[in-house]
Chains A and B, each alone.
Chain A
Amino acid sequence: MNDKSDQISPFLVFFLIVKIQVGVGVLGFQRIIIQSAGHDAWMAVIISGVVFSLGIWGMYKLLNRHDMDLIGIQKRLFGKWLGGLLNIIWILYWLMVGISVLRSYLEIVQSWVFPQINTWLVTSIFALLIYYVVLGGFRVVAGFCFLGISIPSYLILTFYFPLEFTHFRNLLPIWDHSLKDMALASKQMSYSYLGVSTLMMYYPLVKHRNSSQKWAQLGNLTSVFLYLCLTILTIGYYSEGQISRYIWATLSFWGIVQMPFVERFEYIGIATWVLVLVPSVCLYMWVSARGISQYFKMKQKTIYALLLILLVVMTNLIKGRGMINQFVDYISNLGLILEIPYVLFLVCLSTVMSNKKEDKK
């Protein structure tokens, strides 16, 4: 599976990181953090971004020492049984994030474009598309992630339209909230940055992987920058009372876009978002399948088929705003524990263990 043709250039890590961080969350992250930290929310964006930089640093520390993926590392550190259990948790986590991303997107589609859409049909089509991507191997998944950033990047231009009506004075006074509020907002912001842990699975497929950390960090910084711009724009454009009523603040920006041939740009934006979201679901599916394939001697095709059937079924079973929210919350909380504190714990553990080994020698 590690054949050379499947390896990717180190700078593509940049796109993979940005891709996995900027997903459905971008469309509506503002409301939650602004509710907690008000017009200081932009600081929370930076704080949690820095935390994730630290997380990526930890991941590289761990990966460079062992030069294998997370599944292998946990097996080595915790042995067959405990390691296996932890691996299952991770694989389930990635799988569930993939499902939650697709589910959240479908919810947007349902509430903005097609209220009566047949979710079974649409998820099946999405599953076919994802199946077609992942069967192409990691090269195609990474390529799709790359195109999934470069093609929809034209959407950034559309934020010029609300810029006209933005009052940057809304940002003042700076630091108007308590530390507790900031901490809460930072924690809530972290949900939007989740997903970098996939790095620990595709790491062995990166050429010159030891030196690819700069690209990963740059990717994280780019995401921070993007989120920061959007947050500042949101604070300047909406009033605090208004924002609490907009679940998808970014989508609402597009309401103001006016062109001679397009009236409601949201529709185009939402359609383009397919290109943003499918690659990340593909990456999650690829990562989980890669984890599973190290435990079960099954054909890749069968694993993907099973995963995607699960994806279709789960996406259709989770219904309604409340249930989706709850599901996403559970997953994000799990992710928050796994991706930062747990990874740092692993770094400490592996340092201690390798020191012990050296002592024995």
Chain B
Amino acid sequence: MKRYSFFKKQENHKSTDFTDVLEHLQKSKDFTSFTLNFENEIYCVSFFDTLIDKDIMHRDLLPYLHTNSSTLEELVHNLPIEGLVFTKNPAELQSQLLMGYIAITLNKSDQAVLVKAANNTSRQVTLPEVEFSVVGPKEALVESLDTNLYLIRKRLPIAELAVEEIIVGKLSKTRVAVLHIEGIANKENVETVIQRISDLRVNQIIDSSYISQMIEDNKNSPFPQFIDTERPDRLAAVLGEGKVVILVDGAPHGLLGPSTFFEYFAAFEDYFLNWTIASFFRLIRFFAVLFSILMTPIYVAVLTYHYELIPKDLVSTLVISRSGIPFPPILEALILELAIELLREAGARLPTKVGQTIGIVGGIVIGTASVEAGLTSNVLLILVALSALGSFTTPVYQMGNTIRLIRFPLLLMAYFLGLLGIAISFCFLLVHLLRITSLGRPFLEPLYPPRIYDMRDALIRLPFFLQAKRPIEVQTEDTVRLEPKEDSKE
């Protein structure tokens, strides 16, 4: 196994001492190591100059090193820096050097001191782009884990907010943080998440989506089982509901679980609006999604097999729009659906400004031209465009992708078996949703298992005072969310 030779070599270094480690690292151009001679001692300062913040080194470290001290403890005694680590382990020395620490070693001592001077250049906290909301907070997570933790902790200044950190990835050494509120979150959920993450044996974790794909309950399901969000306010809110949050260093998105099917259709903005309006929007979204999944297949089924289903007046409209079209409905529908997918994919891969042009070219030019050329019918064009719109209404991006994918099997079944085929594939879809779980909790809850209480925040969102308890789905330890008011007479 040649692949692993690199790792084995690395492991061998454990038995060696500091000088070997430093020599080994010298191979890199950006590794710097210099010695400082004081009266009686020789100190060696080493670091990666690309990883550290040089201001910290010049301002807070080097000026303080010009003292006469015979031990490391004395030397660093008056350093104005936090995060000092003493170590005797060469392996730790190496890994910390690679994390942006400065190592100071003393010639005769077997100890080294590690000074934290990591260069924390990261993006500024900006507006959320995927989950933009008109009202409500406008902060989005960034790539730095520490900043993200700050954004969440700022909203939950309580001691019970527990952060567990796990290092994952043999190559990437990614910091993965698991957050929950003690006393609210179900311990079983937290332990499952931690267990699954620590069991991961992978080389690299580049993004939170890696984690979510690897620790999902049903890895072959097209349905996402962890909600991916860029809003720290949403993360703080679900922590309060008793869910578990996963943050990954380098990922501007957090994961939250366990999640249910219906949560993927809840925009966080729903909570900023009046409950009547929010419920209306949610119902619209569900309708849009159902429409998006079913409309083109129904068109294909009806026009292929069940002409009788359409009333007389409507049939003439359809016939006129389809007269002169050389393709059967299924081909017509597939062409248009694929065209829409092409547009979407092209728009997603191109820079924003070019993307808009693509949208106009694709939407208007191709659409009109294909109708005028007599390749597709007007009616179908309207239906396909509407169902594409419908699939974009899902607030969670991943769910939108799923919705677009599952249209195609339905389309083919509609072609083979008409309405019966649609019904059968719809059954498959339902059963699939029934079978999958999120962190062991049923995905289709509160529809099944039926829990009336949780319905208050599923298809519709009832006012806050009616949601005094946390969702049953999460199986929280402390179920009461809204404490009853004290008696006003007293």
Q: Show the binding face of A for B, using Cβ within 8 Å.
A: 8-9, 12, 109, 113-114, 122, 125-126, 129, 132-133, 136, 139-140, 143-144, 146-147, 150-151, 259-264, 267-268, 270-275, 278
Contacts and interface: CB of A to CB of B under 8 A. Distances in A.
Chain B, interface SS category: helix
B413 to A, nearest CB: 9
B490 interface: no
Contacts of B311: 259-263
B419 interface: yes
Contacts of B308: 263-264, 267
B309 A114 contact: no
Nearest to B310: A263
B448 A114 contact: no
Interface in B392-451: 417-420, 422-424, 426-428, 430-432, 434-435, 442, 444, 447-450
Contacts of B159: none
B137 to A, nearest CB: 37
A274 B424 contact: yes
Nearest to A279: B427
B417 A122 contact: yes
Contacts of A129: 424, 427-428, 431
B420 A113 contact: yes
A114 B420 CA distance: 10
A283 B314 CA distance: 41
Interface centre among B312, B422, B448 (most CB of A within 10 A): B448
A140 B435 contact: yes
B306 interface: yes
B305 interface: yes
B419 A140 contact: no
A143 B449 contact: yes
Contacts of B423: 271-275
Given A260-B311, A263-B311, A143 B448 contact: yes
Contacts of B431: 129, 132-133, 136, 140, 144
Interface centre among A114, A147, A261, A275 (most CB of B within 10 A): A147
B420 A270 contact: yes
A259 B309 CA distance: 10
For chain B, give the interface size range: 20 to 34
Contact of B449 (A9, A136, A260): A9
A132 B444 contact: no
5 closest A-B pairs by beta carbon, nearest first, are A271-B419, A274-B423, A271-B423, A143-B448, A143-B434
Contacts of B427: 129, 144, 274-275, 278
Given A143-B444, A143-B448, A147-B447, A113 B435 contact: no
Given A113-B418, A274-B424, A140 B434 contact: yes
A109 B448 CA distance: 29
A146 B420 contact: no
B420 A271 contact: yes
Interface of B: 305-306, 308-312, 314, 417-420, 422-424, 426-428, 430-432, 434-435, 442, 444, 447-450
Nearest to A128: B428
Contacts of B435: 132, 136, 140
Given A144-B434, A275-B427, 8 more contacts: A109-B420, A113-B306, A113-B420, A114-B420, A122-B417, A140-B434, A263-B311, A271-B423
A261 B311 CA distance: 6
B448 A125 contact: no
A114 B312 contact: no
A64 B300 CA distance: 52
Contacts of A143: 434, 444, 448-449
A124 to B, nearest CB: 11
A265 to B, nearest CB: 8
Nearest to B448: A143
A125 B418 contact: no
A70 to B, nearest CB: 25
16 contacts: A114-B420, A129-B424, A132-B435, A143-B449, A263-B310, A263-B312, A267-B306, A267-B308, A267-B309, A268-B419, A270-B419, A273-B423, A274-B427, A275-B426, A275-B427, A275-B430
Given A9-B449, A263-B309, A267-B308, A147 B430 contact: yes
Nearest to B306: A267
Contacts of B306: 113, 264, 267
Contacts of A122: 417, 420
Interface centre among B431, B432, B442 (most CB of A within 10 A): B431
A264 B302 CA distance: 11
A117 to B, nearest CB: 8
Nearest to B313: A260
Contact of A267 (B419, B434, B447): B419
A272 B430 CA distance: 13
Given A263-B309, A263-B310, A267-B308, A144 B430 contact: yes
Contacts of B309: 262-264, 267-268
Interface centre among B418, B422, B423 (most CB of A within 10 A): B423
Contacts of A262: 309-311
A140 to B, nearest CB: 5
B434 A147 contact: yes
Contacts of A150: 447
Nearest to B451: A9
Contacts of A136: 431, 434-435
A159 to B, nearest CB: 19
Nearest to A152: B423
A122 B305 CA distance: 16
Contacts of B434: 136, 140, 143-144, 147
A7 B215 CA distance: 25
A222 B427 CA distance: 24
A273 B305 CA distance: 18
Contacts of B432: 132
A126 to B, nearest CB: 7
Contacts of B428: 129, 132
B424 A125 contact: yes
A32 B314 CA distance: 38
Contacts of B419: 113, 267-268, 270-271
A136 B430 CA distance: 12
Nearest to B449: A9
Nearest to B435: A136
